[in-house]
Amino acid sequence: MPRQMSISIVFGPPLAGKTTFVQLHEPTMHHISLGRIARKVSRGSSSISTTITASITNNTPLDSHLLLNLIFQNENLSSVKENVIDGYPKYVHEVDPLIDYCAKYKITTQNLYILERPYGLLKKRLKHRRVCENCYMPAALSGTCLCRNTHLYKREEDSVEYFQGRWERYIEQASGVISRLDKHFTSIVIKDE
């Protein structure tokens, strides 16, 4: 792990545009998407791959230690840009393991970016959402992604039922996650659309 590592978090409901937010600040921000990392690992044949696949299929959370080990692999981190984690923590019980991990490895916490989005906008986005099979990035309305792959698909996570479950968990957990993170991050930046 690079020395004097720092992290920030982008937090918001599913389909809030967390990836887009980081991409808009790409010259200074490095995106660490837990969702993309987990989907890539799930394509393997290890026991971790099987565990992650089951979690995605059943819409259930994974163990914090497994997730933290995925996030903080050296190849996921930048030593020159602000490392912005997307997709963790989602639940109140995940905050303390993150803070403990940071303390153990002397990782400083920087910014918490909160994306507030109305439910109606998210449902509208869900209707047209397609993801690149190669890089897992949401495709633009033009039907292409950043890697220019044209094979797009609708993830099981983007079904109405799956989204509704994710939304309900977000509503249930968001205020607790934010209040606990607020104690450890130096600033909170609220981005509203």
Backbone angles phi, psi at 87, to 5 degrees: 105, 0
Alpha carbons 26 and 147: distance in angstroms, whole number: 16
**6-119+170-192: which CATH topology?**
Rossmann fold (3.40.50)
Q: Compute the C-alpha angle 13/22/93, nearest 5°.
A: 45
Taking the chain (193 residues) in runs of 10, the rounded mean pLDDT of each run is 78 91 91 90 91 87 92 90 95 96 94 92 83 66 60 76 92 96 86 62
Q: How far is CA 90 from CA 35, 66, 172, 189, in A?
A: 12, 14, 10, 18
pTM: 0.82
70 by DSSP, 3-state: which?
helix
pLDDT at 139: 63
pLDDT at 1: 47
